[in-house]
Amino acid sequence: MVKFTRMALAVLTGLFAAPAFAEEAPTLTIYTYDGFASEWGPGPGLKAGFEATCGGCVVNWIAADSSIGTLRRVQLEGDSTPADIIVGLDTATAGEARDTGLFLDHGLALTDLTLPEPWTDKQFVPFDYAHFAFMYDTDKITTPPKSFEELIAEPASFKIAIQDPRSSTPGFGLVLWVKAAYGDRAPEIWKGLKPHILTITRDWSESYNLFLQGEADMALSYTTSPTYHIVSDGDHTIKAALFEEGHLAQTEVAGILKSSKHPELAKQFLAYLTSTAGQKIIPTTNWMLPVIDLGADLDASFEGLPQPTKTLTITDADIKAHGQDWIDEMLAAVQ
Amino acid sequence: MAHPLNTSLPQRPLRVAAGTGLAIAIAALIALVLWAILDAATGATGRPSRIDIPHLLRMTSIQAGLTTVISLAVGMALAWALNRLRFPGRDLIVGLFASAIVTPGMVVAFGMLSIWGRNGWINQTSEALFGVSIGNPAFGLSGILFAHVILDGAFAARIMLARLDAIPQPRLKTGQSLDLTAWQRFSIIDWPALRGTVPGLAAIIFLLAFTSFPIVLLLGGGPANQTLEVAIYAAVRQDFDLVGAVRLALTQIAVCALVISAASALAPIPTSLGPSIAPKWSDRLGASIVQWIVLVLCTIGFVLPLASVLFDGLLNGLGRVLSQPAFWWATLSSLLIGSASALLTLVFALLLAMGRGATANGVARTMLGIPAYAYLAVPAVVLSLGFFLLVRDAGVSTSIAAPFVVVVANSLLALPFAMATLGPPLEAIARTRGKLIRSLGISGWRQFSLIEYPLLGKDIGVMLALAFCFSLGDLGVIALFGTQDFQTLPLMMFRALGAYRTNDAAAIAALLLIGTIVVFVGLPRLIERIAHAVR
């Protein structure tokens, strides 16, 4: 029995460790969240695309279970981290990441960006974005609420599924969105939302599935979520409800670590990530909007996507100073 | 002869020493994990988190206490019904019940919603036929309890059924000839056999419910229903307050230790054990009717949610999943991880349970009982962080260490369940056959190979099935390890869910469930056949 165990372990190690040994060419080690690196995500396409242009380098994705997990891992590893780049932090966590002092200036001009707001970040490069929004099913709801206040005015049987701000990026995004839209009135809005909150899940996927299963009328997701259903199932019934208050955008970013042994190569990767070739891969794998104008290369499902007319913003400094208080405020209001 | 006079136990100092050694090793590992985190915390900056611990403890204890009581009651009723009733497909039903606890909690919760939810089968039928809605029983405290009882009640039933099935045949014959009523049979014959399992099961179920995290958030309806585990998760991930995380973890460990020590100290000595043969017992009509009602209710409550998982998964997306090479790699990883962990769990459980069975000293028995629960008491996110730091401090590449860490962690995860399965029968053997063993002067090894192994065959099978299925996929512990090339089926399922691939995830969930049922129906039979062939 023990022998078998040992054998099985040896096979296991061989099986999973093999990719780590196969390296002679310069290897770019990139930490990201697991959805990004998975077979459905942009990871494989970006790896193939960049390796074809960089002249014999190797891209090695290392996937942690969440984007915040990649940052925590780098913080724990400090200067000894094998990572050259982190891909997948977002605008709400970038401030905290910057303060660790672990990130290098990217030095890219980034002149072609088509983000809703001008980009001034010196350490982090944006690679996709979408606005937070509530999804609804046109078969079930003909007139979706057009603001948080209209949502609050729905009958109590109208349920939404949202995410816990302490464990989920969109969950935190909603806290910021309400704050950006209503400021000091935020607790009042949360109190109004409380009867409509079916539940507050750990991850985005759980809320979204409650919505797809018909348990909730709406779920917090992204304005771009409908494109997945259009592209993959030809289903046009899932739509994002646009709110008059305006929407907060989540922009995903990448940054180079100071401890990288290949900073030039890392910079090339970020340039590729924001180039037309790199950006073409992202919309139909990560289901977010590109950060440059792709013209005809952007999938048609994105072209017809309703976009909010007003984009709300919150500064890094505010998030860092007050984020925790806002989470507490929200939790207290819906308690 | 230096034998204590009051015991009929054979002297097995090696067994006690081996069990003690393992217990100390597990305690040391947990201490190392916490130390590694505190050590790393000195360099890290974090905001201290503000959590109302007494409130959380109160809410969680109520929820976990209710879960435990209901699960044990339901489990006992179900085990009683299944032990008496014979019908075609019984093995399959038993397998289905047992598979709930090892199926990822999220899958069971969503299965429950597709039956009992607002848009579930029952509400849709009710609205179509009677125009009446059943409301939303699946959310709030009732929803949490329901999901937990589906997971834990069915598990309790499986373990109790094994004890009822092992009641020696002569005892039943005597009972039948005395014309015992159903109640008399339960209180005179069944209860003494079941009693030994109750403290261990209660501790496991309480700890599972106490530390339950995604289900509580999914069905809880808001922050009013929450567990310490979510606060610890937030401390580690959001706030990066490592000292705070260790403090919270210690709070959780302390509460869990109380429960565990009570269970370990209270566990009575089971009295009877025979080779498991399908018992022949005929109850009167009234009792049979109650048994059928229990079975049908439990089937509607427990089996339908799982059936809906199969239904959803096999209907959509199965072809697409089967055609992905990644699926087959994940299957291979899961099988290897599951087999390695199951065997390691068996070794761990035998060492601890035999050490425990070989001593009559109350303190030693308690100390040997506690380490089995280590994994349940320590929050997964803390274990994950600690393992990551330990591996790094040891200078080992995290991608090489990942499979080993998963195997060890999964073995610890399955250990309490293995102990609940193997502990009571091993003790029963030591107590009932101890005198015989001593008078024959049988060695420890021969005691195992000639007496324990043949009698335990089916239990070892149940234990291996439990450990194997648990280990198919718990990856919580390598969250930080970087696991792109190392994927098991449950991880692939969660990744699919996170990437909008609901159908793929449903198909994987259905396949996992089928695999689990096959293992639960097949392994106990296989091992029992092998155990008996050896003789």
Distance from CA of B220 to the nearest CA of A (A): 6
Of residues A9, A20, A229, nearest to B340 (C-beta): A9
Q: What per-residue string of b and e applies to B467-491 under the rule 16 or more CB within 10 Å gives b? A: bbbbbbbbbbbbbbbbbbbbbbbbb
* DSSP label of A289: B
Contact (CB<8Å) A35/B495: yes
> Domain segments of chain A: what residues?
2-129+250-303, 131-249+306-334
Q: How confident is the model at residue B270 (pLDDT cuts 50, 70, 90)?
A: low
Question: Do the domain assignments include residue B271?
Answer: yes
Query: Which residues of chain A are within 8 Å of residue B213 when distances are taken between CB atoms?
Result: 202
Provide the domain limits for residue B29: 13-534
Pairing of strands A103-104, A58-64: unpaired
Instruction: List, for residues B179-202, the tens digit of each pLDDT value.
Output: 888 788 888 888 888 887 888 889
Question: What tokens were used for B497?
Answer: 């869910």
For A2-129+250-303, CATH number?
3.40.190.10
Question: Do the domain assignments include residue B193?
Answer: yes
Instruction: List, for residues A105-117, the tens digit of each pLDDT value.
Output: 999 988 889 988 8
Query: Region A48-73: what's the mean pLDDT?
Result: 89
Of residues A16, A205, A228, nearest to B399 (C-beta): A16
Question: Do the domain assignments include residue B26?
Answer: yes
Of residues A62, A197, A210, nearest to B484 (C-beta): A62
Architecture of the domain made up of A131-249+306-334: 3-Layer(aba) Sandwich (3.40)
Q: How confident is the model at residue A176 (pLDDT cuts 50, 70, 90)?
A: very high
pLDDT value, residue A2: 42
pLDDT value, residue B476: 66
Q: Give, to the nearest 10 degrees, the angle between helix B242-266 and helix B380-393.
A: 110
pLDDT value, residue A189: 96
Query: Region B109-117: what's the mean pLDDT?
Result: 86
Distance from CA of B47 to the nearest CA of A (A): 9
Q: Tell me the C-alpha distance between B382 and B479, whole Å.
A: 11
- Chain B within 8 Å of A17 (Cβ-Cβ)? yes
pLDDT value, residue B440: 77
Residue B304 burial (CB count, 10 A) = 20
Indicate the number of domains in chain B: 1
Instruction: List, for residues B129-168, the tens digit of each pLDDT value.
Output: 887 777 777 788 888 898 888 888 888 888 888 888 878 7
How many secondary structure helices (H) and strands (E) does chain A include? 15, 11
Distance from CA of A55 to the nearest CA of B (A): 24
- Chain B within 8 Å of A79 (Cβ-Cβ)? no
Q: CATH code at B25?
A: 1.10.3720.10
pLDDT value, residue B51: 64
Distance from CA of A271 to the nearest CA of B (A): 24
Mean pLDDT of chain B: 80
Of residues B117, B230, B494, nearest to A167 (C-beta): B230
Same fold: A2-129+250-303 with A131-249+306-334: yes
- Chain B within 8 Å of A325 (Cβ-Cβ)? no
Query: Region A168-185: what's the mean pLDDT?
Result: 93
Query: Which residues of chain A are within 8 Å of residue B136 when distances are taken between CB atoms?
Result: 198
Query: Which residues of chain A are within 8 Å of residue B403 when distances are taken between CB atoms?
Result: 9, 12-13, 15-16
Q: Cβ neighbours of residue B455 under 8 Å, at least 6 residues apart?
A: B273, B274, B275, B425, B429
Question: Do the domain assignments include residue B3?
Answer: no
Contact (CB<8Å) B220/A199: yes
Q: Which residue has the higher pLDDT, A22 or A77?
A: A77
Contact (CB<8Å) A39/B326: yes
Of residues A8, A38, A197, nearest to B339 (C-beta): A8
- Verdict on whether the full-model pTM lies above 0.80: yes
pLDDT value, residue A21: 46
Q: Is the dihedral of CA A113, A286, A145, A219 positive or negative?
A: negative
Q: Tell me the C-alpha distance between A189 and A196, whole Å.
A: 12
Q: How confident is the model at residue B492 (pLDDT cuts 50, 70, 90)?
A: confident
